[in-house]
């Protein structure tokens, strides 16, 4: 007795089709899964056996062989349980020999109940592209799967329900396409109007949001660095449909989507603790899973107390910040995760936190200050487009009852700047000024003659790197977009230079 059904596997963000073949033959009673399975797949034998017993169907005597093709691709996880069960039921004659245009994914519990799995959105999109008409998933994943249109999604509670449907006894209704609802994230409770004072820092953050630039906030404890960083998502533009699907795909693979959160509709804000490991930050594992930098895709990655992070952990950020993708190579294959992020970091200028302060004396020696700042390598500092000094808030600002500009007002200006960029980059894969590749810099960053003169002076005076040379121009272009200038003026470039941190009282130049 022989049967075939369809399933799918996942490696990184790539789904791949899997044909599940089942054969029941005479011989010693044995249940074997072949096709390069990992231990999670091999353990499906016990789960499937128990699920069969739960519906009071005698498990076949003899040898049961299940093969997952292609056999040269590593299979991992528990998502093949349901397809193995279906192919076994076909081989036993409980289900029809052929179930055309259908694909099955899901983990089985010992009593035949289906459990939630990872990567359903990614697999459903791949199944639609492959031409499948129906996909059967655990009921907990049905909202996530129904985001994809053009394929019938069936949510299954248990194997008995599935058998009744496939035999035409009691049909399951296909899930309605998921219609996103307004979300109520904690970020909705945050607003820029809560920030007292800090006009320079607020202006710098607005420019950074307009162009998607990486920023480093430096200041003494309690000056409001974290408060400012947490409110950056509130001034960023709404995500496009493409960005929502891209980001949701990553969260699906990471297993962070559920019935309550079937789509990521707001820009992510990830703030890992400084004890995080390199693999936690960029992703890893035998089967690579996304790290914090990919979970922040199309949003903000906030690293508070930057010098407290392990230096080797921070150094792994350098290449992804340039390429905007993470490439993780393993024996089983290579996983590629996108990471188009706005990196925001905050740090004190010294161990005690008061180096350069005019209101409190610093107790650190020059050597201690240098060692503390030396925890951040020059190449990593160079990748921050803007270095923003955050000074202690004045008493007058703290005591004032007057509200500052709200996030909605600032966001309108940011959106206008992004609209100019959308028009500028129409027909390309560039979405913001920070993404302009160096070979296209001259095409998009048009400096007037006085701005060119200033850039020449800055290059000569500060001996800036080629990377800083291009990033100053990109920030200047964002300033010009905020002010509605058609070309970069001297004042636009001067502001970009000011925010580069050459004259910072905190940075040791």
Walking along the chain (509 residues) 10 residues at a time, the average pLDDT comes out as 92 91 88 92 93 91 93 91 96 91 95 94 95 96 92 96 94 89 61 88 95 94 91 93 91 87 90 93 84 95 94 91 87 83 94 86 90 88 92 82 88 95 92 92 93 93 90 96 94 93 68
Is the separation of the CB atoms in 407 and 385 below 8 Å?
no
Measured between alpha carbons, how far is residue 203 from residues 64, 72, 136, 209 in Å?
A: 68, 55, 51, 10
Gap between the Cα atoms of 418 and 32, Å rounded: 56
Alpha carbon distance 201, 478 (integer Å): 16
CB contact set of 367 (below 8 Å; sequence gap of 6+): none
Angle at 173 between CA 171 and CA 177, to 5 degrees: 160
Torsion of CA 215, 220, 221, 222, to 10 degrees: -80
Q: How would you write 422-447 as a 3-class SS string?
A: HHHCCCCCCCCHHHCCHHHHHHHCCE
**Strands 30-34 and 289-290, how do they pair?**
unpaired
CB 130 within 8 A of CB 99: no
Q: What is the topology classification, in CATH, of domain 2-166?
A: Ribosomal Protein S5; domain 2 (3.30.230)
> Taking the model in full, what pTM does it have?
0.89
Q: Tell me the two tokens of residue 460.
A: 């000569």
**∠ CA(125), CA(259), CA(81), 5° rounding?**
60
CB 297, CB 340: distance < 8 Å: yes
pLDDT at 229: 94
Give burial (CB, 10 Å; 0-12/13-18/19+) of 323.
Answer: exposed
d(C-alpha 408, C-alpha 405), whole Å? 8
Per DSSP (E only), the strands in 157-249 are 215-218
Class of domain 186-237+264-498: alpha beta
Quote the CA–CA distance of 491 and 497 in Å, as a whole number: 10
Q: Which residue has the tokens 């161990």?
A: 351
- Structure tokens of 333? 């294959």
pLDDT of residue 185: 54
d(CA 15, CA 242): 18
DSSP-assigned beta bridge partners for residue 345: 216, 303
Instruction: Give the start-to-end residue ranges of the domains of the chain.
Output: 2-166, 186-237+264-498
Tell me how far CA of residue 146 lies from CA of 152, 153, 492, in angstroms.
8, 6, 47
What sign does the CA torsion over 216, 217, 221, 226 have? negative
* Structure token pair of residue 108: 């089985």
Instruction: Give the SS3 label for residue 466.
Output: helix
């Amino acid at each position: 007795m022989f049967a075939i059904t369809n399933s799918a596997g996942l490696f990184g963000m790539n789904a791949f089709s899997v044909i599940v073949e089942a054969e029941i033959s005479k011989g010693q009673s044995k249940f074997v899964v072949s096709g390069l399975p990992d231990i999670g797949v091999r353990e499906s034998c016990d789960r499937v056996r128990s699920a069969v017993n739960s519906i009071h169907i005698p498990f076949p005597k003899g040898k049961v062989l299940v093969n997952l093709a292609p056999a040269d691709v590593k299979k991992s996880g528990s998502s093949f349980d349901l397809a193995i069960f279906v192919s076994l039921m076909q081989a036993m004659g409980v289900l029809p020999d052929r179930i055309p245009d259908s694909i099955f994914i899901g983990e089985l519990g010992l009593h035949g109940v289906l459990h939630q799995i990872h990567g359903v959105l990614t697999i459903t999109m791949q199944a639609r592209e492959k031409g499948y008409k129906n996909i059967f998933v655990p009921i907990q994943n049905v909202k996530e799967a129904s985001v994809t249109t053009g394929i019938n999604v069936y949510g299954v509670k248990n194997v008995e329900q599935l058998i009744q449907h496939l035999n035409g006894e009691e049909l399951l209704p296909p899930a309605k396409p998921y219609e996103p609802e307004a979300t109520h994230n904690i970020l909705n409770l945050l607003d820029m109007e809560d920030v007292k004072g800090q006009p320079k820092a607020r202006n710098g953050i607005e420019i950074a949001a307009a162009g998607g630039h990486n920023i480093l906030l430096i200041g003494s404890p309690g000056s409001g660095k974290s408060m400012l960083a947490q409110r950056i998502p509130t001034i960023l533009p709404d995500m496009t449909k493409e960005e929502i699907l891209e980001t949701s795909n990553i969260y699906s693979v990471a297993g962070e989507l559920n019935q309550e959160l079937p789509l990521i509709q707001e820009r992510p804000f990830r703030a890992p603790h400084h004890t995080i490991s390199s693999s936690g930050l960029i992703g890893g594992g035998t089967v690579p899973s996304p790290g914090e930098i990919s979970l922040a895709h199309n949003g903000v990655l906030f690293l508070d107390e930057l010098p407290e992070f392990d230096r080797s952990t921070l150094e792994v950020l350098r290449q992804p910040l340039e390429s905007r993708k993470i490439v993780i190579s393993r024996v089983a294959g290579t996983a590629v995760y996108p990471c188009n992020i706005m990196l925001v970091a905050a740090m004190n200028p010294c161990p005690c936190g008061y180096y350069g302060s005019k209101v409190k004396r610093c107790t650190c020696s020059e050597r201690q200050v240098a060692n503390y700042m030396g925890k951040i390598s020059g190449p990593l500092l160079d990748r921050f487009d803007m270095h923003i000094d955050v000074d202690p808030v004045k008493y007058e600002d703290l005591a004032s009852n007057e509200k500052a500009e709200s996030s909605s007002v600032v966001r309108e200006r940011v959106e206008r700047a992004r609209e100019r960029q959308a028009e500028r980059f129409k027909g390309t894969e560039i979405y913001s000024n920070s993404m302009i590749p160096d070979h296209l810099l001259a095409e998009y960053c048009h400096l007037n003659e006085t701005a060119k003169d200033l850039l020449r002076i800055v290059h000569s005076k500060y001996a800036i790197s080629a990377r800083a040379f291009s990033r100053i121009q990109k920030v200047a272009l964002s300033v010009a977009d905020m002010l509605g200038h058609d070309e970069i003026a001297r004042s636009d470039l001067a502001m970009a230079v000011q925010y580069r941190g050459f004259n910072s009282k905190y940075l040791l130049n």
